[in-house]
Amino acid sequence: MAKTLESKKACTVNPLKMSQPLGAAYAFMGLDSCMPVMHGSQGCTSFGLVLLVRHFKEAIPLQTTAMNEVTTILGGYENIEAALLNIKKRAAPRIIALCSTGLTETKGDDVDGYLKLVRARKPELDDTALVYVSTPDYVGAFEDGWKHAVTGIVQHLVPERGAEGAPTATIPTQVNLLPGSHLTPGDLEEIKEMLAAFGLSAITLPDVSGSLDGHIPPDWRGTTLGGTRHDDIARMGSSVATLAIGEQMREAAEALQQRTGVPFQLFDRLTGLACNDAFLMALSRISGQPVPPKYRRQRSQLLDAMLDGHFYLGGKQVAIGAEPDLLLAAGALLHEMGAVLHTVVTTTHSAALDALPAEQALVGDLEDLETGARACDLLMTHSHGRQAAERLHKPFFRLGFPVFDRIGNAHRVMVGYRGTRQFIFEVANLMMAHIPHAVPDTWPLPEAAQRVAKPSSAQAELPWPTFTKPPAVDTTAHHQPHGVNP
């Protein structure tokens, strides 16, 4: 429903957007025993790493090919080879996953070709899987990087039907889950629990709930601490269906279907009532099991939460800045609760925006959001929006990535009936804390009204109002509190 507009400004002020390679690296974090690598200058990695650390409060394995000016111009083959060998030696990951950056894309490094050459020249890397995805910084946004990375993983690591290593039989209780970048480790746990309730097991790709859920491992590992296992990725062809969550996962789901023949179903969001009804019905159909009683109960709880919450959200004007899929998940629910999506800013183009119940979505920055938020009751975006909220004295709800000034981000849940319920409570509670408090001059009378109420001009010069005697009837008795009358 929303029309997507592009910002006309030359200068981005207070960026909402983050770059593609960061989104790709984040997707690689969801692979077990993996070392993600950015092929670029070391600053690219350093910035991304710091941001992920600040959001997750976790050690982040992320390496760099440490390109400098000379190696950029001469081509990065040697740096890539050295990086692969160094990583193999130091961390021995099962998978090394590379993404390009603006620098190496501008030069035009043929990384696919380089990797073929490395394979031929360095047999010591034979047991290390290599994945590469092209993610120039100057195209798209974080969500696009994630999208392309997952597609890249599918193309590199899922064997085609009939090929060597491809599974031959279908396991009727196994599904593939392709979550979008907006889902937290907590969200993934919630979805997996829903699947398990139907007797379904999932191969989740990528699975940040295994690696970035904030657990304490028994030993120090230089690579990711969990996530989708390499063997499991190879087995995705044996699943009975693929469930893709978020429009951004369409590309990967299609690639997976093309390679393995596993049919996919895409859910554009799992925050809300009807979308979860549809999701549970899909699980029921796939598994042949009825919807378990606990979800009937949770649905009823959600209805109650929506009833309790709508008082605080109804008619509220919201300014929201987020990546398309998250925008749709949060925005559509707010709309269903009676709020109005007054100002909508996003980072990149997506079919998800077409479904958004707003007049328009602007591919823009937090300056645009701040401008629109002046007329709003609630500001919703990632932590960088806090400066704008302070300036405007508006309630501020942190949503998306990065949230660096709160802890527990990995465990915030917005999906399923339970997650939706929790989200409604959080937003409604924020609004409740900001219910406007009336003061004596909250409702000033317009001048026109004051004028007509004044005495005629002759009387206007008298002191006013004047009474020569007190009112004849004593009315105070009517206003005495109970219990005072004899």
In contact, 16 and 369? CB cutoff 8 Å: yes
Smaller CB separation from other proteins, 38 or 319: 38
Give, as ranges, the residues between 195 and 254 that touch other proteins (CB under 8 A).
216-217, 219-220, 222
Partnered with residue 341 across adjacent β-strands are 318
Partnered with residue 204 across adjacent β-strands are 177
The residue with tokens 């209780």 is 173
- Kindly compute the dihedral angle of the four CA atoms of residues 38, 41, 46, 47, in this order, to the nearest 10 degrees: -90
Task: Compute CA distances 311 → 26, 103, 358, 422, whole Å.
Answer: 38, 51, 21, 16
Smaller CB separation from other proteins, 67 or 330: 67
103 binds other proteins (CB under 8 A): yes
Residue 130, SS3?
Answer: strand
Binding mask 394-413 toward other proteins (x if CB under 8 A, else -) reads ----------x---------
Q: At what angle do helices 142-157 and 20-28 cross, to 10 degrees?
A: 50
Q: What are phi and psi of 300, to 5 degrees?
A: -65, -40
Burial per residue of 74-102, b for 16 or more beta-carbon CB atoms within 10 angstroms, e otherwise: ebbbebbbebbeebbeebebbbbbbbbbb
Smaller CB separation from other proteins, 107 or 411: 107
In contact, 229 and 32? CB cutoff 8 Å: yes
Among 4, 21, 34, 134, which residue sits at the site for other proteins (rule: CB under 8 A)? 21
Among 1, 58, 201, 317, which residue sits at the site for other proteins (rule: CB under 8 A)? 58
Among 1, 47, 172, 426, which residue sits at the site for other proteins (rule: CB under 8 A)? 47
Give, as ranges, the residues between 107 and 126 that touch other proteins (CB under 8 A).
107
Smaller CB separation from other proteins, 64 or 248: 64
40 binds other proteins (CB under 8 A): yes
27 binds other proteins (CB under 8 A): no
Among 27, 29, 31, 80, which residue sits at the site for other proteins (rule: CB under 8 A)? 80
Among 24, 29, 31, 66, which residue sits at the site for other proteins (rule: CB under 8 A)? 66
Alpha-carbon gap, residue 120 to 164, rounded angstroms: 20
Question: Looking at 103-111, 150-158, 266-274, 295-303, which segment touches other proteins (CB under 8 A)?
Answer: 103-111
Token couple for 310:
């709508």
Question: Looking at 122-130, 131-139, 178-186, 254-262, which segment touches other proteins (CB under 8 A)?
Answer: 131-139
Binding mask 136-155 toward other proteins (x if CB under 8 A, else -) reads xxxx-x--------------
472 binds other proteins (CB under 8 A): no
Alpha-carbon gap, residue 384 to 366, rounded angstroms: 8
128 binds other proteins (CB under 8 A): no
Smaller CB separation from other proteins, 237 or 402: 402
Among 147, 235, 335, 384, which residue sits at the site for other proteins (rule: CB under 8 A)? 384
Alpha-carbon gap, residue 56 to 404, rounded angstroms: 8
Binding mask 258-297 toward other proteins (x if CB under 8 A, else -) reads ----------------------------------------
69 binds other proteins (CB under 8 A): yes
Q: Is 351 exposed, middle or buried (0-12, 13-18, 19+ CB in 10 A)?
A: middle
Q: At what angle do helices 274-287 and 293-313 cross, to 10 degrees?
A: 170
Alpha helical stretches, state H, 171-273: 185-197, 208-211, 230-234, 250-260
Residue 376, SS3?
Answer: coil
Residues that bind other proteins (CB under 8 A): 9-15, 17-19, 21-22, 37, 40-51, 53-54, 57-60, 63-69, 72, 79-80, 82-87, 90, 101-103, 106-107, 136-139, 141, 216-217, 219-220, 222, 384, 387, 404
